[in-house]
Structure 1
Amino acid sequence: MFQNNKEFPEPYGDYVVGLTEMDFIDKNRKKLFGSSENNDRKIPIIIFYPADHNFEKTKALYTFKEEAESINKATRGLVSSKSQYIKMNCYRDIPISTKQNKYPIIFFNHGYNCHMMQNSVLCSDLASKGYIVVSVGHPYETSILKYTDGQIVKANKSIIEEFKRTMDSNVNKKFKEMKKNNYIDEELLPIAADFFDYFKDTKVWDHVKIWSDDNRFIADMMEQLDDGSIPSQFEGKLNIRNGIGITGHSYGGCAASQVCLDDSRFVCGINIDAPTYGEFWDKNLNKPYMVIGSKMIEYLARTTFLKNSADSYLITVDHTTHMDFTDFIYYARQLKFLKVLGKRKKALLRDILSHYHIMFFDKYLRNNHNSEITEKLSEGIGIRWKEAVTASNNH
């Protein structure tokens, strides 16, 4: 009954997927969490990238021992720590493809107290289509991370507990009340303002800015990788001139939105099933943006869609829950019994998430205006979109 995948699905695209890890020290930001962080902020990244051959290397494993044990503990033993042995369709440290001179870049941000590989299938699908995908870690708020020198850093318990206390019964009660109504657009903004006002003096609200700054610092590092200031095989391979795309799940979706507000280098973004915690919530991002996820986003993320003056998309998927938009659908299907996962088939969920990401970034990073972003892949998918400037083409 609890049988799970021992290997993830083959990526969509024609490229082999390479995988490498790096970390960088931001000497301008020290002791962000008081006594919990005594040194400069050290940010790890995982890079998924297009390659031409696997060079007869073995497939990379999904995770490391301590991370697998952390997932096991977080799911109360329902997800085996043997998840560390799941094989990905990626190969560590193989040469980048020579088929193109440069490749467009997409950043990915995981959910709060989650892990950097939580959407490895999505990242692999994008890399197999010719994108360089950078998964960004957030020290002390990533569940557990491992630097290239082997150092292990766990999430800060006091901060995690404070986040949990913020999401108290009053919040759940408010959200349940919201869901009893189908608000038209004009009605939603004041309702959302009242809901989010509760968070504005909390770390839930403020730390989105920390995550945004992590991304902005890593964008600086990508520029140095490309110009050769930091030696690597990525020298001259990063298409920074066309701008960077960004996506993220849950709190990582909040970070993606905030980054689009904060930094002109990020030219388009996607929020995967995240509320709008952070100062961006009622701002005009003025960049192509997509919100995709469960019906929750109709209430807690529609404001981004409504406020944005550039091309905007709001895609809802019926019968899904928050974690349906992660790798859990491949190796933790038993979580359906706890209603952590919804009723949709994993192959369809993968198609939905990867398809809309590929179409969106093809259009706004590669200028492929034939991308069929508004195509419905299945029944039970709601799609709204509006075009830039006039925002009059609401569907």
Structure 2
Amino acid sequence: RYPVLFYVCGGGGSPEWGTVICTDLASMGYIVVSIGHQNSTMYKCKDGRLFNVSKDFSDDIMAFSEDPEMMALAGQMTMQPDDETAIETCRNVLTLPILHQLTKYSELQAEDVRYAADYLYKLDAGELHSIFNGRLLLDAGMGIVGHSYGGPTTAIVCRDDDRFACGIGLDSGAFGLLDSDLKKPFLLLFSEPNYHMNAIIGANNSMETYYFSVDHAAHLDYCDIVFTGVNEELRGERDAMEMRNLVTDYTRTFFDHYILQKPVHVESLSYDGVDLIKKTSRK
């Protein structure tokens, strides 16, 4: 039996943007599932039809980025803020009226993930004929990792579905998670000043929450655009292969520990400019 992970791409992206991390984790013994989400991602159906991001989602993302209150809060964000300041800023962001629309899509994506998880259980049980009959290690709990807008989806899934044991957000935020106790171990790997966008997660979570800050990395370095992007201005300063290795290492080590119960710990990993800035637990 093989342990199961889900990967959620960023808003406006496609599942293929996580091909590197998905294949890395698959080569290490995990079955990895990544799905397209209606309205908020690009994806291709079995019959060849291509679906793009909806105009409503694009408009909502643009409205968020141009919202005067959001722009004012972004202007106040600093590198490595103290916890109290970061939590207050995060709370202020999450109470903006514009966030209601964006949260709606995160919740819909979480429903998609739970639907796919239902399907996996049927495959494993033999209710549907497939090569996965009796091959999925579901009793250990599934893991889920999401980049950017996929990060809040990941956290919502952890909060609402006990079949998921733990989750990871890659340079993500906390949309829809203002007063949420995830009750699951969670790891955030991000570039400053993004702590302001997710500080509320660890403040509320009763299980371990890890915050790792990555220097000299850009937002899109956490997905395959680190290799395929043609606009150098969107890239950070880290070598693409090094960035790939550190994202895979932190992800694999976290899931190995919390799903497979291996005696490995993310705190033991060592990359220049990657620092554990906070580990919280209210157990």
**TM-score scaled to structure 2, two decimals?**
0.94
- Bigger Rg over Cα: 1
Partner of 1:315: 212
Which runs of structure 1 show a deviation greater than 6 angstroms over 4 or more consecutive aligned residues? none
Partner of 2:235: 341
Count of residue pairs brought into register by the alignment: 282
* The one of 143, 156, 159 aligned to 1:258: 156
Contact 2:169 2:187 in 1 (8 A): yes
Partner of 2:246: 352
* Separation in 2, partners of 1:142, 1:168: 21
Partner of 2:187: 290
TM-superposed deviation, 1:285? 0.8
Query: Percentage identity across aligned positions?
Result: 29
* Separation in 1, partners of 2:197, 2:280: 21
TM-superposed deviation, 1:387? 6.2
* Separation in 1, partners of 2:77, 2:193: 10
Q: 2:212 corresponds to which letter in structure 1?
A: I
Partner of 1:94: none
Bigger share in helix: 2
Contact 1:291 1:297 in 2 (8 A): no
* Separation in 1, partners of 2:125, 2:53: 34
TM-superposed deviation, 1:191? 2.5
TM-superposed deviation, 1:308? 1.5
1:117 aligns to what SS in structure 2?
Answer: helix
Structure 2: state its 5+ residue gaps.
none
* Separation in 1, partners of 2:167, 2:7: 10
Choose 105-114 or 154-163, whichever is displaced more.
154-163
Classify 1:385/1:202 alpha carbon distance in 2 versus 1 (closer, same or farther; 3 Å): closer
Classify 1:159/1:331 alpha carbon distance in 2 versus 1 (closer, same or farther; 3 Å): closer
2:127 matches 1:127: no
Contact 1:273 1:296 in 2 (8 A): no
TM-superposed deviation, 1:275? 1.2
* The one of 30, 49, 58 aligned to 1:151: 49
Classify 1:385/1:343 alpha carbon distance in 2 versus 1 (closer, same or farther; 3 Å): same
2:272 matches 1:374: no
* Separation in 2, partners of 1:269, 1:199: 27
Contact 1:273 1:322 in 2 (8 A): yes
Q: 2:220 corresponds to which letter in structure 1?
A: M
Contact 1:311 1:385 in 2 (8 A): no
1:270 aligns to what SS in structure 2?
Answer: strand
**TM-score scaled to structure 1, two decimals?**
0.68
Contact 2:38 2:53 in 1 (8 A): yes
Contact 2:151 2:169 in 1 (8 A): yes
1:319 aligns to what SS in structure 2?
Answer: coil
Partner of 1:7: none
Classify 1:341/1:281 alpha carbon distance in 2 versus 1 (closer, same or farther; 3 Å): farther
Partner of 1:216: 114
2:168 matches 1:270: yes
Q: 1:379 corresponds to which letter in structure 2?
A: D
* Separation in 1, partners of 2:280, 2:99: 34
Q: 1:358 corresponds to which letter in structure 2?
A: R
* Separation in 2, partners of 1:297, 1:265: 29
Partner of 1:139: 38
Structure 1: state its 5+ residue gaps.
1-101, 391-395
* Separation in 2, partners of 1:135, 1:118: 10
